[in-house]
Amino acid sequence: MTTVAIIGGGIGGLSAAYFLLEKARSQGRPLHLHVLEASNRWGGVIRTVREGGFIVEGGPDSILSFKPAGLALWQDLGLEDEIMGTAPGRRAFIFFRGRLHPFPEGLTLMIPARLGPLFRTFLLSWRGKLRAAWNLVQTHRTPDGQDVSVAEFVTRHLGREVFERLVEPLFAGIYAGDARQLSLRTTYPQLLELERQYGSLLRGLLHRTRQRKRHPNGFRPRYTPFVTLRTGLGRMVEALVARLQGLADLHLGMKVTRLEPLDQGRWRVYLDDGALEAQHVVVATPAHAAAPLVEDFDPDLAHLLAEIPYAASVIVSVAYDRSQVPHSLEGSGFVVPRVEGRPLLACSWTSSKFPHRAPAGKVLLRCFFGRAGADEVASWPEEDLLALTRQELRETMGITGEPERAWVFRWRPALPQYTLGHGERVAAIFQRASQWPGLHLVGNAYQGVGIPDVIAQAKRAVEELFPAS
């Protein structure tokens, strides 16, 4: 009998538990599995509220379809019929200088890949457009192994305006981070690969566009880039918990206080009111929560884990009658560049992206606040957050009425920041963890912040734990 303790009941811990049970069953191995979650619910940052005909996401609302681990898990769980993409023809906008501007068409990897839309946009001055076009004849290659910030890299290739007005707000929408500190190598290494091959981002992207035109059938994806589940991402959590019921010991409200390595590769897991022993421990918590668990036996590992910075986030969803919203809502939402100096980071038009998420005649909007260096908003009283949301929607979209419903979700700290040197930091973390047999780390702090990234990490950890015989 192999005993495994999984610490953390978010998507990393639940998917690791699922993969462990599947692996043990396929190999005929007896398994005793504990899943320990300190809070009173499963899912971590995935939280779906279904209320009054609205489907409201408190955390992420979709996954990237071109990262296969997420879709593969959904299919394994029998959720394929519930997968849906975003509504067709929905453009995104940028709030800049008092109005909403559509993003130039043809963005690839967050970079403008077509010159025509780039030259027609009102987001850039003529100087900014010519500076970006200069990249067609410019050649630059980042030295192998050198880590550069997103800001430095994009500005070098396409100029300051393209970075500040197009690229920065998109990166902030994903990481809630400061692109001047974010590591390109660990956030978007695809851009470094384009630079390595072509010496120029525009030349590389234009080459890829021509390839798609020559071979359209080879580039036709089954799904839109962003996909979700019809009744919300919480459906995935519910399906995982249902699969684990009766096959694993599931514990809510059970906090792990520390870990202790024992002889013969075993571990003692200390709880608030007791302890248990296991041959393997999967720590699927945020890095800052993992650090105190290992501090007693490996202070250096604890220090490395604690070094990963986090940003807080607040998501406020509001519902209006359609008559209250003067905007056409023909799009997916908008982002706000840091240079605008607004507290609002982005606004997703949920009922336009996923029309079934609101009753007929109603509008559901998701507003995002908080970014690296501006975390104080997460501690504001709820009434102040709602007042701020109304003010931002009035000044950006012209909505003057009171919302019919509102939902406030706070995540602090929630979003790991892949700052410069993140790759080396993570390599050092895994190198130290590997010196402790039976210790495994999973989470969005290490090798990708998205749900599919975390699922893929969980699967790799299970492969290490139960290697193919």
372 and 451 co-located in one domain:
no
For residue 29, the SS3 value is coil
Identify the pLDDT of residue 219: 53
Query: Domain limits at 382?
Result: 48-88+311-416
Structural domain includes residue 224: no
Q: What number of residues does the chain have?
A: 469
Residue 299 sits in the same domain as residue 433: yes
Residue 215 DSSP class: S
**Cis ω for the linkage preceding 413 (within 30 of 0):** yes
Residue 7 near residue 284 (C-beta atoms within 8 A): yes
Same domain, 339 and 275: no
Would you say residue 229 lies in a domain?
A: no
Q: How far apart are CA 276 and CA 259, in angstroms?
A: 10
Structure tokens at 181: 């500190």
**Assigned domain for 447 exists:** yes
- Is there a contact between 415 and 310 (Cβ–Cβ < 8 Å)? yes
Coil, strand, or helix at residue 295? coil
Q: Residue 300 has what pLDDT?
A: 97
Query: Is the CB of residue 176 less than 8 Å from the CB of residue 311?
Result: yes
Would you state the pLDDT for residue 216? 58
The pLDDT, as a whole number, for residue 220 is 60
Amino acid at 346: A
Q: What is the CATH number of the domain that holds 337?
A: 3.90.660.20
Helix (H) or strand (E) holding 408, with range, is strand 405-416
Q: In whole angstroms, give the CA distance from residue 109 to residue 122.
A: 21
Asked if 250 and 35 count as a contact pair (C-beta separation under 8 A), the reply is yes
Distance CA 110, CA 163 (A): 10
My answer on whether 258 and 318 are in the same domain is: no
Residue 228 lies in a domain: no
Nearest residue to 238 (alpha-carbon basis) of 449, 42, 63: 42
- Whether residue 59 lies inside any domain: the answer is yes
Instruction: State the pairing for strand pair 333-335/92-96.
Output: parallel
The predicted structure's pLDDT at residue 151: 94
Q: Are 292 and 302 in contact (CB under 8 A)?
A: yes
Mapped onto helix, strand or coil, the DSSP state of residue 254 is: coil
The CATH number of residue 14's host domain is 3.50.50.60
| Residue 319 lies inside a defined structural domain of this protein | yes
Q: Is 160 part of any domain?
A: yes
Q: What is the CATH number of the domain that holds 157?
A: 1.10.3110.10
* Calpha distance 117→103 (Å, rounded): 9
Residues 298 and 425 in one domain: yes
Encoded tokens for 381: 């009283």
Residue that terminates a domain, selected from 416, 432, 447: 416
Asked if residue 65 lies in contact with residue 279, where contact means CB atoms within 8 angstroms, the answer is no
| Tokens of residue 193, six digits | 């690969």
pLDDT along the chain (469 residues), means of 10: 96 98 92 97 97 96 92 96 85 93 82 84 93 89 88 94 92 85 91 90 83 62 87 98 96 97 92 94 97 97 97 95 94 93 94 93 95 81 96 96 95 90 96 96 95 96 85
Q: Within a domain: residue 209?
A: yes
Output the pLDDT for position 222: 78
Q: What is the pTM of this model?
A: 0.93
Nearest Cα neighbor of 201 from 105, 113, 117 is 113
Distance from C-alpha of 126 to C-alpha of 130, rounded to nearest angstrom: 6
- The number of folded domains in the chain is 3
